Structure 1
Amino acid sequence: MFFSVLAPLAPVILCIGLGFAIARVGWVRASAIPDLSNIVFLVLTPALLFRTMGGVRLQELDFTPVALYFGAAGLLFVATLMLGGLTTATAARALAHMFSNTVMIGVPFVGLVFGPQGLVTLFTLISLHALVLLTAATLVFELLQAREQRAAQQQQEGGAPHSMARTVGQAVRNSIVHPVPLPILAGLLFAQTGLALPGPVDRALQVMGAALGPMALLLVGISLAYTRIGRHWRGALRIAVAKGLVMPALLFAMARLLGLSGQGIAVMFTAAALPVGANVLLFTQRYGVMQDEVSSAIAISTALALFTLPLVLLAAHYLAG
């Protein structure tokens, strides 16, 4: 059973390793990473998301696993703030503890392990992941930044605090009008019409969707090859451990406490163990805190996942019943 459960992890490791190797020998330069990312996020990802959700009826979706995921994420976020202090730096660390790389690593990995039905559950999470977590994080960041600005007001003059309503509005808009949630919502709306995609269009989307997994994993390896950890490795390692081990452990405990099981719970447990998502780095850049540490944490958590995901798969197999 051990090898049958871990078998889907082999192509993930091989693709990431191959991407790392071709970058190290110079076949792919660092300057090409943004262009490759555009292909993955703007072309291949929307194709897979739209085609998959285009055959799903709303009444077939189960939001219980997603609610469990957000419950675990919220608890970990609040616990980090309480233990680390109410600062924007702690908020950035708390966001890194709970925000998963659900697309670039999650989609190919869950697809290999759980198949199309598992992807439907993951896409249900993805459709709400950024909207819920980033909007909530925006509120926290803005409140803490305003608090810090008031405390520093006597020492230096600074710019006016951001308009919270405007910032939250931008977060909501950017979380929906985005190459990940938008095709999910469009696919769901199309599915409710009962129409079918024309054959050539459906086949084109199928080919592009099939290319997403290997392309995304190769890109992960290429990015790792050009990432420099630097002197922030200790803090980054703590974030990686919290994201890859504490977050899934918390979700697992909540699932057992509530008596929840099944494939949907197993998919959420796996999603909770994924590495830190890149959106966290965008937040740190926006608020000017923890940029180097979070950037290093993304790289370390991705490398650490190659060792922790085998354990996660075994536990997920138990949760799936």
Structure 2
Amino acid sequence: MSGVVQGFTVIFIVIAVGYALGRTGVLGPEAQQVLSRLVFFVLTPALLFNSLATTDLSVIFSPTLVIAGGSALLVGLIYFVLARTVLHREIPEATIGALSSSYVNSANLGIPIAIFVLDDASFVAPLLLFQIMIYSPLALTALDLTALRGGKGRITLRDTVVAPSTNPIVLGGVAGLILSVTGVTLPHAVLEPISMLGDASVPGALLAFGLSLTGVTVLRKGESPRRDVALASVLKMVVQPLLVFALAYFVFDERGHSLFAQVVIAALPTAQNVLVYASRYQRGVVLARDTALVTTVASIPAIALIALLLA
């Protein structure tokens, strides 16, 4: 539990700094939007490029990739279907909600938790790759095709093909993966500035999240889509860990520390990246913000319970 507390303490301190910056107004009224765009267009692509270009892919392609990736896709799909059929939400809001219900905070919280609690950061790597190379491109393509069209008519095959190739996050991940597969190593003078920019992605996203909390009341009646937040939060903190447990235990016959690690990773909260995406497309921003905060608070007792039952 000391590792859990340490990981969450780091997160809350940086978010608090962002909130203080927003309260004092030292960065100006557009700080959250500008910082979110910086994270989306520059910092996160640099992080993904550097991470994948320097990652040994043999560590990533493991049962964890199937368990974590398959469960995230299924939970996201469940939310999307319910949002469209029961809550009657438009595709962009349903897409942001699907991400909120299943996109794990695998970088800025997952890595510390993996180190302090699981003693092995490799448990996070497969999920990180899945979210970078599969989940994000799928969701961002859907948002590119629906949230940015502004009444341009029906979506064509060309739109579907072109959209991923114009998204900076997808491009950064693909470029890094190509270097990793081919074994090409860039000069240190080129990789170092990319690494520096990538290192700023996680604190940048957390600061943007803190800024977004300024002057707002979480779950405010009439502003927050409470039913959407409740659905996303329950799927993220209850359904996803249970689904991962079922897949790992009954399908892949995992036991002991490996099973414990899989379920702990699944119980991590919604990533702040989802708020960055929502801010970029200006759809589902309150949903992403409130779900991230609710699941971050809920994940502390959730991981404690998992440790009690499985550790």
The normalised TM-score by structure 2 is 0.73
Structure 2 letter corresponding to 1:113: I
Give 1:89's aligned residue: 89
CA contact (8 A) 2:237 2:295 kept: no
Give 2:7's aligned residue: 8
1:258-273 aligned at under 5 Å gives the runs 258=251, 259-260=253-254, 261=258, 265-266=262-263, 269-270=266-267, 273=270
Q: Distance in 1 between matches of 2:235 and 2:273?
A: 7
Displacement of 1:99: 1.0
1:48-63 aligned at under 5 Å gives the runs 48-62=47-61
Distance 1:84 1:215, change over 3 A: closer
Bigger mean CA offset, 213-222 vs 51-60: 51-60
Asked whether 1:186 is paired with 2:175, we answer yes
Determine helix, strand or coil for the equivalent of 2:185.
coil
1:69-218 aligned at under 5 Å gives the runs 69-76=68-75, 77-78=77-78, 81=81, 85=85, 88-89=88-89, 95-100=95-100, 106-114=106-114, 117=122, 120-121=125-126, 122-133=128-139, 162-163=154-155, 165-166=156-157, 170-171=159-160, 173-218=162-207
Q: Distance in 2 between matches of 1:19 and 1:283?
A: 18
Displacement of 1:16: 0.5
State the aligned residue count: 292
Displacement of 1:135: 6.1
Q: Distance in 1 between matches of 2:307 and 2:290?
A: 25
Give 2:118's aligned residue: none
Give 1:308's aligned residue: 298
CA contact (8 A) 2:49 2:176 kept: yes
Distance 1:65 1:37, change over 3 A: same
Displacement of 1:15: 0.5
CA contact (8 A) 1:265 1:320 kept: no
Asked whether 1:17 is paired with 2:13, we answer no
RMSD of Structure 2 on Structure 1 (CA): 4.1
Distance 1:275 1:266, change over 3 A: farther
Give 1:257's aligned residue: 250
CA contact (8 A) 1:65 1:264 kept: no
CA contact (8 A) 2:241 2:263 kept: no
Can you list the C-alpha shifts for 1:23-70, whole angstroms capped at 9, x where unaligned? 012223331222212322222222222222112344443264343345
Asked whether 1:41 is paired with 2:40, we answer yes
Displacement of 1:204: 2.4
Displacement of 1:223: 1.5
Q: Distance in 2 between matches of 1:231 and 1:212?
A: 32
Structure 2 letter corresponding to 1:186: A
Displacement of 1:239: 3.4
Displacement of 1:72: 3.0
Give 2:227's aligned residue: 235
**How many percent of aligned residue pairs carry the same amino acid?**
21
Displacement of 1:262: 5.5
Displacement of 1:170: 3.0
Determine helix, strand or coil for the equivalent of 2:26.
coil
CA contact (8 A) 1:118 1:264 kept: yes
Bigger mean CA offset, 27-36 vs 108-117: 108-117
Give 1:245's aligned residue: 237
Bigger mean CA offset, 21-30 vs 244-253: 244-253
Give 1:299's aligned residue: 289
The correspondence for 1:277, drawn from 254, 274, 287, is 274
Can you list the C-alpha shifts for 1:230-251, whole angstroms capped at 9, x where unaligned? 5043324423423442343343
What residue ranges of structure 1 are gaps of 5+ in the alignment? 142-158, 286-290
Q: Distance in 2 between matches of 1:272 and 1:133?
A: 18
Q: Distance in 2 between matches of 1:8 and 1:82?
A: 33
Bigger mean CA offset, 209-218 vs 86-95: 86-95
Structure 1 letter corresponding to 2:47: L
Give 1:146's aligned residue: none
CA contact (8 A) 2:101 2:236 kept: no
Distance 1:36 1:308, change over 3 A: same
